[in-house]
Amino acid sequence: MSSASVEPRIAPAPQAARVAVVGAMGATTMLFASLLSAYFVRRSFPDWRDSGLLWPVGLGVCALAASLGLEGSLRLPSPWRPWARGAFGLLSGAYLLGALVAVASCVSRGLALPHEAFVALLLGTHVLHALAAVFLVRFLEGEGDEGRALARGVVHFLTALLLLILLVLFAIR
């Protein structure tokens, strides 16, 4: 009988991070798909009225510009990177503040209209995911190039998800 030591098999950190990020993005997609499905069913009721608001355009522009700022902070020549990173932070903050104001506005009116209730639900859930992404991006930055690529993927995924939500809530009638 030999006494050979057996080392446990541990997946490398970048691969584990990739699996965790993809799993979280899949769960997020399923959550938003179920909420959008409920939205489509509820809006078929006769008491449904949309609210004609312009703030969704501002939220979409802030989120898209923040996503571009992140890309710039990673791809631009070094003298421009701090500016792009600052723009990413500023625009992300503007999006989060705008979304919180929109949710608070819907809630302050008592969520009387079903459309406003869905706006508060979908935007509020997206804000929570965006806040979680901030911590994820900070964590993944320490993982090197693979971590930065994952962080970019998460930010762009959440931006695309927000644009889809805004499209469904305010553009599709």
Residue 146 located in a structural domain: yes
Q: Sorting pLDDT into bands at 50, 70 and 90, what band is 112?
A: confident
pLDDT in tens, 17-53: 788 888 888 998 999 899 889 988 998 888 888 766 6
- Is 35 part of a structural domain of the chain? yes
Nearest one of 15, 21, 44 to 156, comparing CA atoms: 21
Residue 122 and residue 39 in contact, taking contact as beta carbons nearer than 8 Å: yes
Radius of gyration, CA atoms only, the chain: 20
Question: Is there a domain that residue 1 lies in?
Answer: no
Residue 37, in any domain of the structure: yes
Domain boundaries, position 108: 16-43+57-171
pLDDT at position 26: 92
In a domain, 121, yes or no: yes
Both tokens assigned to 2 = 């030999």
pTM attached to this predicted model: 0.76
Whole-number pLDDT of residue 9: 61
Asked whether the CA dihedral 81, 68, 159, 28 is positive or negative, the reply is negative
Domain count, the chain: 1
Residue 20 domain-assigned? yes
- Looking at the domain assignment, is residue 97 inside a domain? yes
Q: Establish if 96 belongs to a structural domain.
A: yes
Q: Tell me the residue type at 152.
A: R
